[in-house]
């Protein structure tokens, strides 16, 4: 059971890292460089989605590490 959980955690971390690097260094700048209205809207929406995912992961990690805080 521990090996399966560790594998899923490492896979999730790897996918998040690849997605982050792909967005920040490849897809996002390419959309901004295109400069059309549609591309800029997609870049904004993609950045918002990336930020929401990042904050959700951070909150999940904090809630998992300290489950009793705030849940009186």
pLDDT by residue (tens digit) across 10-69? Answer: 999 999 999 999 999 999 999 999 989 999 999 999 999 999 999 999 998 888 887 776
Q: What is the pLDDT of residue 54?
A: 94
Confirm whether 72 is domain-assigned. no
CA distance 21 to 15: 10
Residue 71 binned pLDDT confidence (cut-offs 50, 70, 90):
low
* pTM of this structure: 0.78
Spatial CA neighbour of 50 closest among 7, 30, 21, 71: 21
Confirm whether 8 is domain-assigned. no
SS3 68: coil
Number of independent structural domains in the chain = 1
Q: What is the pLDDT of residue 48?
A: 95
Confirm whether 6 is domain-assigned. no
Confirm whether 4 is domain-assigned. no
Q: Which domain holds residue 41?
A: 15-65
């Amino acid at each position: 059971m521990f090996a399966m959980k560790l594998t899923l955690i490492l896979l999730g971390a790897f996918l998040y890292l690849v997605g982050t690097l792909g967005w920040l260094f490849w897809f996002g700048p390419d959309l901004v460089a295109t400069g059309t209205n549609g591309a800029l809207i997609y870049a904004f929406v993609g950045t918002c989605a990336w930020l929401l995912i990042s904050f959700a992961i951070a909150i999940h990690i904090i809630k998992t590490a300290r489950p009793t805080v705030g849940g009186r």
